[in-house]
Amino acid sequence: MDKVIREKVEEWGKSKAISCQSVSGGCIAQATKIVFESGQICFLKTMQQSSSESLDIFQKEAHGLEELAKAKAIYVPKVYLAEKDFLLLEWVENKPSRQTDSFWEIFGQQFSHLHRFQGESFGFFENNYLGSSRQENCASGSALKNWCDFYHQHRLLFQIKLAEKNGYGKKELLSTFACLEKKLPEILSGSEEPPSLLHGDLWGGNYLVSEVGKPVLIDPAVYYGHREADLAMTHLFGGFGERFYQSYEESYPLSLGHEERLNIYKLYHILNHLNLFGMGYYSQALRLMKYYL
């Protein structure tokens, strides 16, 4: 651990760190389990690579966790310290073996309760990150109140422009998207709802199972949007039990036709993966677009 970070962490904990153990984490941050002399255990995230474009990534993650906590719907780790070079959180032991038969039912119900926590407009008070990609949340004009405009301008079009900048904006991709964006109001018609608080990046790697077998959300990309977009990400890579969706639907039924809108919401994440990881996601992005053409 960096000496300066250690000093700040120990000052916060009013105790010496007697153990610093690396744990598995994502590709962006180095994850460390810290045990203090006092007996307290914390989770520390530090940057694996410095980047001028992501100096605020930990502060934005902290704000997302704090926003999720406001809903009091599903557990998130407490934020202790958030600075440009590190994030100190409550340690939550991941115990997949404690996952009971009721886990997915509880998860689905609690996730629906999260989505009942609503905002006045789409987006968020600040831009943040989806993985290491910038996520544009600060909307204006019609995009503040109109989900179709927000999703078009600040999600799909933002990623398409980024793909052009990164050299992935091939002619077929751009022409197919030009056709798709004309149909977007029709695709999303009938699903209008107030802005819901979204985790923003919920896949199998972004939840834990607590000591008592309950779900815990981590690594959010928070904003206020359409809850179908949040659920679509859970479908993208699979791994969520069928009872999760049944329980969600029983608690907070989705609008008619939500199954047909899954691909339009998956598209945002696949375009982001295209921009993050390259052409391996190009064909999948095209297929998702052509589904509606």
pLDDT at 72 over 60: yes
pLDDT of residue 102: 94
pLDDT of residue 25: 63
Q: What is d(CA 207, CA 216) in angstroms, rounded to the nearest whole number?
A: 5
- In the structure, what pLDDT confidence band is assigned to residue 1 with cuts at 50, 70 and 90? confident
Query: What's the average model confidence in pLDDT over 252-271?
Result: 98
Worst-scoring range by mean pLDDT, 41-55, 106-120, 139-153, 235-249? 41-55
Q: Report pLDDT digits (tens) over 147-202.
A: 999 999 999 999 999 999 999 999 999 999 999 999 999 999 999 999 999 999 99
What average pLDDT does the structure give for the chain?
95
Q: Which CATH class for the 96-290 domain?
A: alpha beta
Short-list 82, 50, 49, CA closest to 64: 82
pLDDT at 208 over 70: yes
Short-list 292, 270, 71, CA closest to 188: 292
User: Residue ranges of the domains in the chain?
Assistant: 3-90, 96-290
Q: Report pLDDT digits (tens) over 82-106.
A: 999 999 999 999 999 999 889 999 9
Q: In the CATH hierarchy, which fold is given to the domain comprising 3-90?
A: Phosphorylase Kinase; domain 1 (3.30.200)
Query: What's the average model confidence in pLDDT over 254-266?
Result: 97
Question: What pTM was estimated for this model as a whole?
Answer: 0.95
Catalytic residue among 2, 201, 219, 230: 201
Specify whether 230 is catalytic: no
- In the structure, what pLDDT confidence band is assigned to residue 240 with cuts at 50, 70 and 90? very high
Q: What is d(CA 6, CA 22) in angstroms, rounded to the nearest whole number?
A: 14
Cβ(74)–Cβ(109) under 8 Å?
no
With helix as H, strand as E and coil as C, how does the chain read? CCHHHHHHHHHHHCCCEEEEEEECCCCCEEEEEEEECCCCEEEEEEECCCCHHHCCHHHHHHHHHHHHHHCCCCECCCEEEEECCEEEEECCCCCHHHCCCCHHHHHHHHHHHHHCCECCCCECCCCEEECCEEECCCCCHHHHCCHHHHHHHHHHHHHHHHHHHHCCCCHHHHHHHHHHHHHHHHHHCCCCCCCEEECCCCCCCCEEECCCCCEEECCCCCEEECHHHHHHHHHHCCCCCHHHHHHHHHHCCCCCCHHHHHHHHHHHHHHHHHHHHCHHHHHHHHHHHHCCC
pLDDT at 58 over 70: yes
- In the structure, what pLDDT confidence band is assigned to residue 21 with cuts at 50, 70 and 90? very high
